[in-house]
Amino acid sequence: MFYPLVFEPRFKERVWGGRRLETLYGKRLLSGRPVGESWEITDRPEDVSVIANGSWAGRDLRWLMEAHREALLGNLAPAAGDRFPWLVKILDARELLSVQVHPPAEVARRLGGEPKTELWYITEAERGAEIYTGLRRGVTREEFERRLREGTVADCIHRFAVRAGDAVFLPSGRIHALGAGLVLFEIQQNSDTTYRVYDWGRRGLDGRPRPLHVPEALASVDFQDFEPGPLPERWEARDGGRRRPLVEHELFCVEVWRWNRSTQLEWGGGGCRVLGCVAGRLVLEGGNEAVDLRPGRFCLLPAALESVRLAVDSAAEVLVVLPGVPGKGA
């Protein structure tokens, strides 16, 4: 009954977005509009992914969670509201994003929002592209608030250059801003709560300044979080290729796989997993269904799928999301 699932992407118009999801990944974007986000797997109240392949094509992830939650998730705990626990996106930042923060769980409960921890994996980076994340060492809350009033708060944020293949972890409470000229895969907790603290004087798609959430942001920022950088790059030989673990957290684990030659292998059941193709091409077969994964395409493997055959054409790079480790990184 269960097989590798592919979903229809949900495109989000953003003032800072571009058109590279079309040119890089063949996405059929909204005509002539700046698209900043493609929600690849989502089970939000306002936006639910529709299955695009196999016998369940046309049904959605909400139905799957209601009818087959245990078979889909295995031991993976659902998000609040009995929803799928992860939100998977591709972002195209043609322009700099706002300086923002996502609330930790206890703050989110107090403010009526949702906690949000996420990981960015950079797939394309223009020369000189940067990420803002965490505070510069020594910055205090008092200095941050003063700089905010003066319009120079960006000088409080630690920033560094990034390139394709870099990964950045953003636990809730970490102040951040995505720089211009970047495309990335985003793996996050199922949440859509963002508190915007500074927006560079920009106007939104309606021509008006976008709303800020300064009190909420100040309540959420971790003012002891100084100068985090990209995640370390450690590779190990595995299954005819190389594996790079990125993060182990109670919400999710993420790793990258690379193969540089034609490879065929079988993966046993490992719980609910999501695969996203970064480069190259691979074919997944399981439950009498085959999925052709090309760059920018994602696939959900239900926990009840006992095994999946994976065939790499000549070379491929794949991002893999797995269930988290209880108590890790909490």
Q: Which of 196, 244, 258, 297 is catalytic?
A: 196
- 3-class DSSP assignment, residue 308: strand
Catalytic annotation present for 258: no
pLDDT of residue 328: 86
pLDDT in tens, 196-215: 999 999 999 899 999 999 99
Give the Cα separation of 303 and 72 in Å (integer): 5
Taking the alpha carbons at both ends of the chain, their separation in whole angstroms is: 35
When pLDDT is cut at 50, 70 and 90, the band that residue 239 belongs to is: confident
Kindly state the greatest CA–CA separation across the chain: 61
Using alpha carbons only, what angle is made at residue 222 by residues 158 and 193, rounded to the nearest 5 degrees? 100
Tokens read off for 191: 């949440």
pTM confidence score: 0.97
pLDDT in tens, 304-330: 998 999 999 889 999 999 999 998 875
Whole-number average pLDDT of the chain: 96
- 3-class DSSP assignment, residue 327: coil
Higher-pLDDT residue of 241 and 31 is 241
Give the Cα separation of 160 and 177 in Å (integer): 11
When pLDDT is cut at 50, 70 and 90, the band that residue 30 belongs to is: confident
DSSP 210-254: PP--HHHHHHH--TT-B---PPP---EEETTEEEEEEEE-SS-EE
pLDDT in tens, 272-308: 999 999 999 999 999 999 999 999 999 999 999 989 9
Phi, psi (deg, nearest 5) at residue 170 = -125, 85
Whether residue 15 has pLDDT greater than 60:
yes
Give the Cα separation of 9 and 306 in Å (integer): 26
Q: Which residue has the tokens 């970064």?
A: 278
pLDDT of residue 330: 56
pLDDT of residue 136: 98
- Provide the Cα torsion 22, 37, 174, 320; round to 10°: -70
Rg from Cα positions in the chain: 20
Give the Cα separation of 70 and 258 in Å (integer): 31
Q: What is the mean pLDDT of residues 39-51?
A: 97
Phi, psi (deg, nearest 5) at residue 72 = -75, -50
